Amino acid sequence: MITLVIWEQIPETTDLFLIPNSEIDDEMRGIMQRAHGKLINADEDVEDALKLNAAFSPKNEKYPVDDEYLPYWGRFAQYRAEENGPIQNTHVTHIYMSGWVL
């Protein structure tokens, strides 16, 4: 069973993250719930969306943000879905949407 996170970078791209529920602890589940529907640069109170942004950043990228986000850096980057077709044969239990307005 997985959680689907739709990560928007409006107007440029949309990334999908398919994260096994077993990899999401209570803290991260709360962050996802609070960030749901919020867009950085468009909404207020986007602290949790910024944490998700760090979690979706590739670990091999230079860490460019404040130290408070370091514990989240790259945590879910490996779960980015490939862009080569539909998601199939997957049991999605949670869906969240967040991201950026560029």
Tell me the domain boundaries of the chain.
Answer: 2-101
Q: What is the Cα–Cα distance from 20 to 23, expressed in whole angstroms?
A: 5
pLDDT exceeds 80 at position 1 = yes
User: pLDDT per residue over 13-27, tens digit each?
Assistant: 999 999 999 999 999
pLDDT exceeds 90 at position 93 = yes
Q: Give pTM, 2 decimals.
A: 0.89
Q: What is the pLDDT of residue 102?
A: 86
Q: What is the pLDDT of residue 85?
A: 77
Q: What is the pLDDT of residue 58?
A: 85
Dihedral in degrees, nearest 10, Cα atoms 25, 30, 33, 39 = -100
Q: What is the Cα–Cα distance from 95 to 22, expressed in whole angstroms?
A: 15
pLDDT exceeds 80 at position 41 = yes
